Amino acid sequence: MKVGFVGLGIMGKPMAKNLLKAGYEVIAYDPFAKANLDEVVEAGAARGESNADVASKSDVVITMVPNSPNVKEAVFGTAGIAEGAKEGLDIIDMSSIAPLASKAIAEECAKKGIRMMDAPVSGGEPKAIDGTLSIMCGGPKDLFDKYEEMLGVMGASVVHCGDVNGAGNTTKLANQVIVAVNIAACAEAFELAQMAGVDPEKVFQAIRGGLAGSTVMDAKVPMMLDRNFKPGFRVDLHIKDLNNALETGHSLGSAMILTSAVQEMLQWLHNNDCGSNDHSGILKYYERINGTALNRKDA
Ligand code: NAD
């Protein structure tokens, strides 16, 4: 199977490399991330000259770009995937975008004879490298069945969330709400512990195995304690996801109280030159209010 891969950023690069490792023929392209494209070509991929060129040489094209406008541009823009698509091409969009946009893009693709599935991921760069992402799929079940094994090369879990395009992205929005609120809760709680004079490292060791423990806590609290805000997952991408969650929630009349609060924290970070920090940087919002920096040594 010839797999086109469009978008070779933090996530796309290791995902494409895992497909190559598993023996898939990959044709890769990214108009901006030249060093990453070179690295994927070095690992064995064919170099695409444009998104259309990739589509013309592939049975299925995976897109892994930031947001809805980027997916639209990659598919329908000049020299886009739709322009180069040969008959029977399928697209798997693994970007995290608004569910309604997924649906609209899939409908537009269907008019051109292209079938589409949304398959956003959770797990971040380390799990993209290990091939252990959680992959949430939306779209016709037969399309899911066709690509489940291939997606399994990039993910530890591959779940069909619904037959409707956008079902994967709705699942991803739920994931992003829980992650954002969990990070904010960790920042709030560990600042509290330190200000009360208890070593936050000891608090972490004491509670991580109990009910409060979580994958988010294990991944993000050590970063907070090390004051390591290198992404990982950028604040600006999480703003994008929560915007999509709020928009979706508002259109359905679903209450988004905690999401709104954390979105304001992320927006503050963006306004204070921290948009490219890891989202564990939410801690900085609390530190600014509290006037104290979380630190292993300070307690
Ligand atoms: P990134 O910004 O590192 O990479 C995106 C890449 O897409 C860039 O290299 C860019 O040049 C490319 N691109 C943009 N427009 C394009 C176009 N029209 N054609 C071809 N390529 C184009 O972002 P990322 O961190 O890899 O995230 C990609 C998606 O995965 C996002 O939707 C993000 O929300 C989601 N995601 C990211 C993480 C993470 O931890 N980074 C985790 C889970 C999900």
CA 221/CA 234 separation, integer angstroms? 16
How far does the centroid of ligand 1 lie from the alpha carbon of residue 8, in Å? 7
Q: What pLDDT digit, counting tens, does each position of 249-280 carry?
A: 999 999 999 999 999 999 999 999 999 999 99
Distance 293 CA to ligand 1 centre (A): 31
d(CA 45, CA 7): 13
Q: Is 121 in contact with 152 (CB distance < 8 Å)?
A: no
* Number of alpha carbons in the 13 Å side-chain half-sphere of residue 171: 24
pLDDT, residue 124, reads 87
78 ligand 1 Cβ < 6 A: no
CA-wise closest residue to 92 among 113, 112, 71, 69: 71
Q: Is any atom of ligand 1 closer than 6 Å to the C-beta of 33? A: yes
Provide the pLDDT for residue 258.
98
Give me the sign of the Cα torsion angle 231, 280, 249, 273.
negative
| Segment 178-231, tens digit of pLDDT | 999 999 999 999 999 999 999 999 999 999 999 999 999 999 999 999 999 999
Substitution site in 8, 17, 30 for ligand 1 pocket (most atoms within 8 Å of beta carbon): 30
- Structure token pair of residue 113: 């004879």
The helices-and-strands tally (H runs, E runs) of the chain is: 14, 9
Low-confidence ranges of the chain (pLDDT < 70): 297-299
* Strand bridging mode 133-138 / 46-47: unpaired
> Do the beta carbons of residue 133 and residue 121 sit within 8 Å?
yes
* Count of CA atoms in the C-beta half-sphere (13 A) of 54: 32
CA of 15 to the centre of ligand 1 (A): 12
Does the Cβ of 124 fall within 6 Å of ligand 1? yes
d(CA 242, CA 257): 12
Say what the pLDDT of residue 188 is. Answer: 98
Query: Are 25 and 2 spatial neighbours (Cβ–Cβ below 8 Å)?
Result: yes
> What's the rounded Cα separation, in Å, for the pair 63 and 65?
6
Q: Which of 18, 38, 47, 65 to mutate to test the pocket of ligand 1 (most atoms within 8 A of CB)?
A: 65
Spacing, Cα 234 to ligand 1 middle (Å): 11
Catalytic residue among 13, 103, 127, 172: 172
- Residues 105 and 99: their CA atoms lie apart, in Å, by 10
Distance CA 145, CA 147 (A): 6
Q: Count CA atoms closer than 13 A to 80's CA, side-chain side.
A: 15
- The answer to whether 172 is a known catalytic residue is yes
Identify the pLDDT of residue 297: 65
pLDDT for res 299: 43
Distance 226 CA to ligand 1 centre (A): 26
Tokens encoding 90:
């399928």
